[in-house]
């Protein structure tokens, strides 16, 4: 009761909702108690409040005896990272160190699944769904693939506009409704989603869904129908799982591309629906992917690994997903740059153009690590979303690679 009364007065003083005041007071109590190291970093300006919230969230289930060491590791990982980048890195750090807690937390979170509606200004509202990560990733990938297909056919709407329009029409009737009739058939665009980490699986739905309507140029958005979208492309997601985890020899976390660590059990459940496997060829001493020499075209397997490694556009602070970016040779192929993972990175169209026009210079001092030099001469460094584990054979043992057949 004392806490609630204090929160009520804080809410009145700060003119914020009561629930927000309670959260701020709770976080303040943690920072001034068990997390003084985070508070000091916050006070000296080396950490933003958003970063501090990530630290508190990821430390929630850590044993008290191990908390100082784990908190120090998180604070070090926060250096030079945006809040979003740090959140992904911190979550992976926790899941790697405490994998036994993933499934329990997932079940608790799964009970909170919901769809919510928030009113916005200017006649708009925000519809959001709290779903399993794999389901949400698959839905978003399907919408993005369909949007790119419409843009390639000449649609002038942005990808965000197209995703919103396709989703709305799918949920409100879509093709085959009495008003529009059946949609014309279109060959579905397949979107490869696979990567490395021992083995990687492409996972797709059991059947294809139909898409939504496209507005003719100059037509009012309320009048367009579903005919021009045809079939919503098959959506595939990428899960990286090592062979030992897949065979239940350990419970190491797997990686859901675009999201982060998931439990071993969840990854094995998804792997039962895999449509394709890609073996990751890895140097046992350095962990590096084998290059492909002077081939200009990026092989499919290497492209899948790059999607997983980068996660987003590799320009500092950019969060555009690799689902809608382009693979760029850091050192141009025409200038002798090889087609291997140490000279390739995903860039969105805007930042690809910045580099092509020479305004920003890029290099990879080590595979996957990008260093950008701005027009003013400042240097910015970005780390890959996913780092390869250093795999070393036991003394006297030869390293082997087993690549499973596709299915």
- Summarised one tens digit per residue, pLDDT across range 341-359 is 889 999 998 899 899 988 8
Beta 361-366 vs 326-329: how paired, if at all? unpaired
Q: Rounded distance, CA 140 to CA 323, Å?
A: 10
Q: What is the mean pLDDT of residues 8-19?
A: 81
Q: Rounded distance, CA 77 to CA 71, Å?
A: 10
Residue 166's alpha-carbon distances to 125, 192, 384, in angstroms, are 16, 21, 32
| Confidence category of residue 243, pLDDT binned at 50, 70, 90 | confident
Tally helices (H) and strands (E) across the chain: 13, 12
Range with top average pLDDT, 214-218, 229-233, 248-252, 324-328: 324-328
Q: Please, what is the average pLDDT of the chain?
A: 75
Runs of H (alpha helix) within 125-182: 133-152, 159-171
The 3-class SS string of 283-344 reads: CCCCCCECCCCCCCCCCHHHHHHHHHHHCECCCCCCCCEHHHCEEEECCCHHHCCCCCCCCE
Q: What percent of the chain has pLDDT over 70?
A: 74
Q: Specify the pTM.
A: 0.49
DSSP 182-209: PPPP-PPPP------SSEEEEE--SSPP
Enumerate domains of the chain plus CATH numbers.
2-110 (no CATH), 117-232 (no CATH), 300-382 (1.10.30)
Sole residue written with tokens 């003394």:
395
Range with top average pLDDT, 1-10, 106-115, 211-220, 349-358: 349-358
- Summarised one tens digit per residue, pLDDT across range 131-170 is 988 888 889 888 988 898 899 889 999 999 999 999 998 8
User: Is 227 or 35 the better-scoring residue by pLDDT?
Assistant: 35
DSSP SS3 for 58: helix
Q: Rounded distance, CA 53 to CA 269, Å?
A: 32
Contacts of 311 (CB under 8 A, 6+ apart): 88, 257, 258, 321, 322, 384, 385, 386
DSSP SS3 for 371: strand
Instruction: Out of 269-273, 310-314, 332-336, pick the least confident.
Output: 269-273
Q: What is the mean pLDDT of residues 224-249?
A: 64
**231 DSSP 8-state letter:** B
- What pLDDT sits at residue 93? 85
**Of 151, 152, 156, 107, which Cα lies nearest the Cα of 132?**
107
Beta 260-262 vs 274-279: how paired, if at all? unpaired
| Confidence category of residue 280, pLDDT binned at 50, 70, 90 | low
Q: What is the mean pLDDT of residues 293-300?
A: 68
User: Is the separation of the CB atoms in 127 and 117 below 8 Å?
Assistant: yes
| Confidence category of residue 281, pLDDT binned at 50, 70, 90 | low
- What pLDDT sits at residue 390? 42
């Amino acid at each position: 009761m004392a806490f609630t009364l204090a929160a009520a007065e804080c809410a009145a003083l700060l003119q914020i909702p009561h629930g927000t005041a309670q959260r701020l007071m709770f976080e303040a109590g943690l920072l001034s108690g068990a997390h003084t190291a985070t508070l000091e970093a916050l006070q000296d300006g080396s950490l933003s409040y958003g970063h501090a919230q990530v630290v508190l969230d990821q430390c929630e289930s850590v044993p008290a005896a191990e908390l100082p060491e784990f908190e120090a590791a998180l604070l070090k990982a926060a250096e030079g990272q945006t809040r979003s980048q740090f959140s992904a890195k911190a979550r992976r750090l926790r899941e790697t160190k405490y994998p036994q807690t993933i499934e329990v937390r997932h079940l608790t979170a799964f009970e909170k699944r919901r769809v919510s509606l928030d009113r916005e200004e200017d006649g708009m509202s925000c519809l959001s769904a709290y779903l399993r990560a794999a389901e949400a990733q698959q839905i978003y990938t399907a919408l993005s693939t369909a949007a790119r297909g419409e843009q390639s056919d000449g649609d002038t709407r942005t990808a965000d506009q197209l995703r919103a329009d396709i989703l709305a029409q799918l949920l409100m009737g879509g093709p085959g409704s009495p008003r529009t009739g059946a949609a014309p058939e279109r060959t579905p665009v397949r979107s490869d989603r696979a990567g490395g980490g021992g083995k990687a699986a492409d996972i797709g739905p059991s059947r294809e869904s139909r898409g939504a309507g496209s507005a003719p140029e100059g037509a009012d958005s309320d009048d367009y129908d579903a005919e021009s979208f045809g079939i919503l492309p098959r959506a595939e997601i990428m899960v990286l799982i090592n062979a030992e985890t897949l065979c239940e020899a350990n419970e190491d976390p797997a990686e859901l591309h675009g999201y982060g660590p998931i439990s071993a059990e969840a990854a094995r459940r998804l792997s039962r629906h895999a449509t394709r496997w890609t073996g990751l060829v890895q140097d046992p001493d350095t962990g590096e992917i084998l290059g492909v020499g002077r081939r200009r075209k990026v092989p499919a397997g290497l492209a899948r690994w790059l999607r997983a490694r980068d996660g987003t556009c590799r320009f500092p602070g950019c969060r555009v997903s690799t689902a809608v970016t382009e693979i760029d040779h850091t050192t141009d192929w025409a200038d002798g740059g090889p087609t291997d993972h140490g000279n390739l990175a995903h860039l969105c169209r805007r930042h690809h153009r910045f580099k092509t026009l020479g305004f920003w210079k890029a290099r990879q001092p080590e595979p996957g690590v990008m260093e950008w030099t701005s027009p003013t001469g400042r240097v910015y460094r970005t780390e890959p979303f996913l780092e390869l584990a250093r795999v070393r054979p036991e003394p006297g043992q030869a390293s082997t690679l087993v690549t499973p057949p596709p299915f």
